[in-house]
Amino acid sequence: MQDPIVKLEALNKTIDDRLILESISFSAFPSEILTIIGPNGSGKTTILRIVNLLMEGSKGSIVYGFQGLPSIINPKNEKEKILLQRQMHLIFQKPVVFSGSVLENCLICGPLRGLKFTRKEAMEALERVEITHLYRQSANTLSGGEMTRLALARAWLIKPQLLLLDEPSANLDPQGIKLFEELLGVMAEEYGTGIVLVTQDLFEARRISKRVGLLLHGHIIELQATPDFFNKPQKEATKQFISGALVL
C-alpha cells in the first residue's frame, strides 16, 4: 500500500471547554475516496478544517506525506503551513467564490489565489461541470448548485494532491451529482488525488467510496472498506445509522 497523504493520530479538538473531536485516527491515501458520514454536529466539518490547517487540533498529531515535500508533522510555522496548503484544497459546505465573473474565478484560483490558468483551460473546466454558458456572470450571483459546480471546476483546475469536500452534493441536482461523481473518479484514478468526502448521502457514499467512516459525537465509531461498512457493520450504531434509525 502507498504511504498516506495524511495521517491523523489521536486528534482531539476542544472548543470553549467542549470536546468536539476525541481521539480521531485515520489515514487518507492517494487515488482513494474516503467518505465520512455522520449526523449534524458530529464534527465532520471540524475534521476537514483541521486537516486543511484552518484550525488547530488541541491534542494529537497530523502527519502530511505529500509527494515532493518532506514529511511534516503538525506544521510549526507559517512557511510549513503554506507549503502544505498549496497541496490541498477544501470545498466548503457553502462554497466560497471571489467577486468577479465565473471565468475570472477560474483564471486565477488555488491556494492563496496563486495559480493562473489559460482561458482555454478555464473554459474546459467549466464545460466539465456544464456551466460554460454562465462564464460572464458575476460569481456571487450564482445559484447554490451553480456555485458548487464552479467550486468543482476550480478543484479540477487546481488538481491538489489532497481534495477535501464538505457535502458538495447537497446542492446539486441529479445531473450535477453524476458530473461530480465522474469528476472525482477521474481525479482519483488519473491524477492520483486523495479525496476525503463528507456527505449525508449514504447511496453516494456507497457508490463512490473505497472506505467509509461513521462519525458520532466526535468519535469515529467504525471505518471500513465500503462493502464491509454497508453489508457487515461491526457496530450496532453503524447498523442503526445506515438503516436510517438516528443514533443520538
Ligand X SMILES: Nc1ncnc2c1ncn2[C@@H]1O[C@H](COP(=O)(O)OP(=O)(O)OP(=O)(O)O)[C@@H](O)[C@H]1O
Give contact residues for ligand X (rule: CB under 6 A).
15-16, 20, 38, 40-46, 93
If the CB atoms of residues 31 and 93 are measured against ligand X, the closer one turns out to be 93
If the CB atoms of residues 47 and 184 are measured against Mg ion, the closer one turns out to be 47
Instruction: Count Cβ atoms within 10 A of the Cβ of residue 74 and give its class: 0-12 exposed, 13-18 middle, 19 or more buried.
Output: middle
CB of residue 42 vs ligand X: minimum separation in angstroms?
Answer: 4
If the CB atoms of residues 45 and 193 are measured against Mg ion, the closer one turns out to be 45
Please pick, from the candidates 35, 42, 45, 238, the single residue that binds Mg ion as defined by CB under 5 A: 45
20 binds, among ligand X, Mg ion, none (CB under 5 to 8 A by kind): ligand X
C-beta separation of 101 from 139 below 8 A: yes
CB of residue 200 vs Mg ion: minimum separation in angstroms?
Answer: 9
Compute how many other C-beta atoms are within 10 angstroms of the C-beta atom of residue 13: 22
Residue 74's alpha-carbon distances to 80, 208, 211, 218, in angstroms, are 9, 30, 25, 20
If the CB atoms of residues 126 and 198 are measured against Mg ion, the closer one turns out to be 198
Asked if 46 interacts with Mg ion (CB under 5 A), we say no
CB of residue 217 vs ligand X: minimum separation in angstroms?
Answer: 9
C-beta separation of 131 from 102 below 8 A: yes
If the CB atoms of residues 48 and 152 are measured against ligand X, the closer one turns out to be 48
C-alpha–C-alpha distance, residues 33 and 187, integer Å? 10
40 binds, among ligand X, Mg ion, none (CB under 5 to 8 A by kind): ligand X
DSSP 101: B
Residue 104's alpha-carbon distances to 110, 120, 130, 186, 194, in angstroms, are 12, 12, 17, 24, 27
Residue 76, all three cell numbers = 510549526
CB of residue 44 vs ligand X: minimum separation in angstroms?
Answer: 4
CB of residue 40 vs ligand X: minimum separation in angstroms?
Answer: 3
27 binds, among Mg ion, ligand X, none (CB under 5 to 8 A by kind): none
If the CB atoms of residues 95 and 110 are measured against Mg ion, the closer one turns out to be 95
H or E, element range at 196? strand 194-198
User: Which residue, chain included where needed, has cell 473505497?
Assistant: 210
- Which residue minimizes CB distance to Mg ion? 45
Question: Per DSSP, what are the bridge partners of residue 19?
Answer: 14
CB of residue 15 vs ligand X: minimum separation in angstroms?
Answer: 4
14 binds, among ligand X, Mg ion, none (CB under 5 to 8 A by kind): none
Q: Which residues bind Mg ion (CB under 5 A)?
A: 44-45
